[in-house]
Amino acid sequence: MSVFSTSRLMVVFAVGWLCGSGAVQGQVPRKQEAIPQGPPSGSAKADPIRISAGSPSIRRITADHSLSLPNWCSAGPYARDGEPLFTSMTRKEPSYKLYHNAYWHAHKWYALVPPDAMLRDGCQPGVPSSAACAARGSDADGSRVNSADGGSVDGLRSSPLEEGLSVNCALINLPVSNISAFTDNMRAGFLPGTTLLVDFPFPAFPDNLGHWAEIMFTTYSVLADGAWRNNTVGNRGRYVDRILLPNLRKEMNDWFKEILAVAASPGVRRGGPPVPSIIDHADLEAFPKLSWLIIENLLVVQDRYTHPERKTGFIGADHGDLWRYDGCARYVNRAWEIGFSDPSFAAAFRAAIYKRAGLPYVPGWEPGTPPPAPVSGSPRVMTLLLAHEDYPPLVNWEDVQATMHKVASAAGLVVRTVTLSTDAPFASHLDTYARSSVLVARHGPLLATASLMAPGSTVFELLPYKWEWLGISKLYYNMTRSTGDLHHFAWRPTDHRLAHYDHENYTRYHTWTPEECSARECLMVHGRAGLTVNLTEFETLLRAKLPDVLAGKGVEELREPWPKAL
């Protein structure tokens, strides 16, 4: 069950827009895994909740409540007594933002704001581009950030609150005039320090490795860069204490799990657990319905799908691109670059994940010299990677294989064919890629591991006919490009006879332009259609690139324009 294109498209319609609602990874909940689950160190679990002038009855209820809290949150507040717990947000970089005092309650996210911070004349919350409003926001917000409170930041200024918290989570502004009265009587659990929010864009299809990779590589880059630490508040915000997965379960696909472990690693406390504890959808479901969760620092890494104002349903120059068919809209920011923000992060990620998987150290490559064989002493390998059960099909894969043999022997490469499914152990995926100097595969989630190939390696990607939706055909290309040391070429059919639709009704789509083919059915039809490779063109591409690749020519020197979807 690893149908990239079909899954990716169907999910757009299956996903609920509210966090925690809609489809969730439907795996059988297993016994909790060996992920550290204890309360954060130094948490004041035993402390009674702050009660101001509460009546005895309130005190009793609150005490009972603290017993019913799960052990992953603290009953003791992280803030100093009397400090107002208004919500604020800091966005210093396009790649991430931090919410301070974020509230989660009954499956929704809330920002507690002073009444005067609600819509001011001519200002809209969450519009960072509006300088006047941003300036006014900062003035008004300055006092809301507890930067002076022994925090790690001096003079931290908050930004206008973005209501598009993350792709599937909206932030509801709740004006509160007396914040201490409001929070003192609140049944609450606290998450001190920093919590990393990971909102999977397509939760109904959790086997979509490509979309996991696109958010994880950015997450790793943000955490490794470290500038986010300076935007946190409180004494213990400088490390990621836990990961919050509002729409996935911690019993996730092995590929997801391994990638997440390494992606989060630059954020963890030295000497602490190697992987932060995970609060998942099931944990949130079980959280007492009348209680609130208050999060000191909520770190949200940017993806291609989150609009700061959570705008959906419009198409306009300022809104980017929205996919709005069948009552569903999906915003995609095409300007947002996925992948590692710097090649050094790609190299560090690769080194960490090879080590974790027990593979020998990543062979280095000096452009200008032939890349070393991934397994020293063995011939270089050229792999044809096929999806489990060959679906969606690569119709003439045996001919593709024969063509590879023909070209490879001249180049001193050994050809092999490997079949993988998306739920195969991560180690199988990584091993397949780590051993391949050259890899040929149809576009699909199995290509998500391509960015982890050894430096100087090469991907030849076979794109389906008319497969283009807001730059989606470049999903894997953009990721490998961000590493700076991988070659990535693609072939794509321009003749509809090379696409094999699974019903004759669908042949009508073959004349549609890529722009016209942005609705669900057309994209799904093309995504799952069988693909025949034009062997002449494929062989020409291999012969044009392989000798130079194997001679060690530079990645930019050999780069080709991406083939157009005609």
Ligand X SMILES: *[C@@H]1O[C@H](CO)[C@@H](O)[C@H](O)[C@H]1NC(C)=O
Helix (H, G, I), strand (E, B) or coil at 363: coil
Binding to ligand X by CB under 6 A, coded x per residue (else -) over 209-228, reads -----------------xx-
Burial of 265 (0-12, 13-18, 19+ CB in 10 A): buried
Q: Which of 533, 528, 520 is nearest to 503 (CA)?
A: 528
Choose one: 345-353, 371-379, 416-424, 474-482; the region binding ligand X (CB under 6 A).
474-482
Least separation in angstroms between residue 478's CB and ligand X is 4
| Site track for ligand X across 322-341, x = CB under 6 A | ------------x---x---
Exactly one of 27, 505, 511, 513 binds ligand X (CB under 6 A); that residue is: 505
Q: Which residues pair with 393 in a beta bridge?
A: none
State the nearest-atom distance from the C-beta of 126 to ligand X, in Å: 23
C-alpha Rg value of the chain to the nearest Å: 25
Question: Helix crossing, 4-14 with 209-225: angle to 10°?
Answer: 80
Beta bridge partners of 325: 328
Q: How far is the CB of 495 from ligand X (least distance, A)?
A: 5
In contact, 216 and 345? CB cutoff 8 Å: no
Residue 88 structure tokens: 């604020």
Q: Where are the beta strands (DSSP E) in 84-213?
A: 88-93, 96-105, 108-113, 164-166, 169-175, 188-197
Residues 516-555 that bind ligand X (CB under 6 A): 534, 536-537
Nearest-CB residue to ligand X? Answer: 471
* 355 belongs to the binding site for ligand X (CB under 6 A): no
Per CB under 6 A, the list member of 1, 63, 181, 290 interacting with ligand X is 181
CA–CA dist 357, 353 (Å, integer): 6
The verdict on 474 binding ligand X (CB under 6 A) reads yes
- What one-letter code names the amino acid at 231? N
Of 88-96, 159-167, 175-183, 287-295, which part binds ligand X (CB under 6 A)? Answer: 175-183
> Interface with ligand X includes 30 (CB under 6 A)?
no
Instruction: Kindly tell me which of 417 and 534 has the beta carbon lying closer to ligand X.
Output: 534
- Between vectors from CA 240 to CA 234 and to CA 243, what angle results, nearest 5°? 120
Whole-number Å distance between alpha carbons of 407 and 493: 21
The reply on whether position 230 binds ligand X by CB under 6 A is yes
In this structure, the dihedral spanned by the alpha carbons of residues 496, 499, 504 and 506, taken in order and rounded to 10 degrees, is -80
3-class secondary-structure state, position 491: strand
Q: 28, 34, 46, 53: which one contacts ligand X (CB under 6 A)?
A: 53
Is the N-terminal amide bond of 36 cis, ω within 30° of 0? no
Strand intervals (E) in 61-95: 88-93
> Is residue 344 a contact residue for ligand X (CB under 6 A)?
no
9 near ligand X, rule: CB under 6 A: no
Nearest distance from C-beta of residue 205 to ligand X, angstroms: 16
Tell me which stretch binds ligand X (CB under 6 A): 25-33, 403-411, 450-458, 471-479: 471-479
Question: Does the protein bind ligand X through residue 180 (CB under 6 A)?
Answer: yes
* Residue 478 makes contact with ligand X by CB under 6 A: yes
Q: Does 55 bind ligand X (CB under 6 A)?
A: no
- Least separation, in Å, of the C-beta of 270 and ligand X? 16
The Cβ of residue 366 has, within 10 Å, a number of other Cβ atoms equal to 11
Among 57, 129, 178, 376, binds ligand X (CB under 6 A): 178
Residues at the site binding ligand X, with contacts judged by CB under 6 A: 52-53, 178, 180-181, 184, 226-227, 230, 334, 338, 471-472, 474-475, 478, 495, 503, 505, 534, 536-537
